């Protein structure tokens, strides 16, 4: 994945807030990323919210904040594209386009990003089989864009102890059956269960994940979206340390 994005990062971590909220918020999170050697910053500008009354994201203003922050801190950026009409704006401001879980079945959107040569991270639909996910990835690739990253973010099951049920077998299958880089989204799969983010991060790496995504906020309690699941800067530091020592240990085996 690092090679694909022109990176030389030891840790393919994508981290940042759920939503872009302010320049100060972005700046404090970016400092933590740089401190931990993380190269890719996330932040949503167009937010797919369950309720129309919830914060919908800052839109273009948010994209500008993300671009400004990432240029300042020499980071790559990723943000979600929800609607074809915002494609050009997203192309102009981010390095990687995210297509979210709720849009996995939006074939018009998949075809449009497939016609670009921009890296695209596609998340598995929350109610999708692996076969449907593979076909959605194929929509992008078959339209000419081979710069595709598959992201497992958990699926909806009867289990309620985590926000979604993280399907790690899909990671192993994707690694076996495709040539695509695979990222595990720890935050949207585990939800409020931040207490198990370390072991699940390690399990993801052990079964072949090329990268991890995690939401980090300077003040999660005040976050405008997903406040329950975002890590504080301190928690993020602990996670990065835990992953680094796990990777060192794996390398030594
Ligand atoms: C997100 O990453 O901001 C997001 C909304 O995730 P998902 O599409 O996996 O729900
Ligand atoms: Mn979120």
Ligand nearest to the CA of 152: 1
Q: Which fold has domain 19-41+57-252?
A: TIM Barrel (3.20.20)
Note the pLDDT of residue 123. 98
* Ligand 1 center to 73 CA (angstroms): 24
Q: Is 188 in the pocket of ligand 1 (CB under 6 A)?
A: yes
Per-residue pLDDT of the chain (253 residues; tens, 9 = 90+): 645 554 434 459 999 999 999 999 999 999 999 999 999 999 999 999 999 999 999 999 999 999 999 999 999 999 999 999 999 999 999 999 999 999 999 999 999 999 999 999 999 999 999 999 999 999 999 999 999 999 999 999 999 999 999 999 999 999 999 999 999 999 999 999 999 999 999 999 999 999 999 999 999 999 999 999 999 999 999 999 999 999 888 876 6
Note the pLDDT of residue 3. 54
Domain boundaries, the chain: 19-41+57-252
Q: Is 154 in the pocket of ligand 1 (CB under 6 A)?
A: no
Q: Is 48 in the pocket of ligand 1 (CB under 6 A)?
A: yes
How far apart are alpha carbons 70 and 158 in whole angstroms?
39
Q: Is 79 in the pocket of ligand 1 (CB under 6 A)?
A: no
């Amino acid at each position: 994945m690092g090679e694909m994005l022109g990176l030389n990062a030891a840790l393919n971590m994508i981290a940042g807030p759920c939503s872009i909220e302010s320049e100060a918020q972005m700046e404090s999170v970016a400092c933590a990323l740089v401190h931990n050697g993380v190269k890719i910053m996330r932040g949503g500008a167009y937010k797919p919210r369950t309720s129309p009354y919830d914060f919908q994201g800052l839109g273009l203003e948010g994209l500008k904040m993300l671009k400004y922050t990432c240029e300042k801190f020499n980071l790559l950026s990723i943000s979600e594209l929800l609607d074809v009409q915002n494609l050009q704006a997203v192309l102009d401001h981010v390095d990687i386009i995210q297509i979210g879980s709720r849009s996995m079945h939006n074939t018009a959107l998949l075809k449009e990003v497939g016609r670009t040569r921009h890296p695209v991270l596609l998340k598995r639909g929350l109610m999708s089989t692996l076969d449907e996910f593979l076909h959605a990835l194929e929509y992008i690739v078959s339209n000419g864009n081979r710069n595709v990253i598959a992201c497992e973010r958990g699926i909806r099951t009867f289990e309620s102890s985590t926000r979604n049920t993280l399907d790690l077998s899909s990671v192993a299958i994707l690694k076996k059956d495709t040539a695509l880089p695979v990222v595990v989204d720890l935050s949207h799969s585990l939800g409020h269960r931040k207490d198990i983010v370390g072991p699940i991060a390690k399990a993801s790496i052990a079964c072949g994940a090329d990268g991890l995504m995690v939401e980090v906020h300077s003040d999660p309690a005040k976050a405008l979206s997903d406040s329950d699941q975002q890590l504080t800067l301190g928690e993020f530091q602990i996670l990065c340390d835990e992953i680094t020592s796990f990777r060192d240990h794996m390398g030594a085996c």
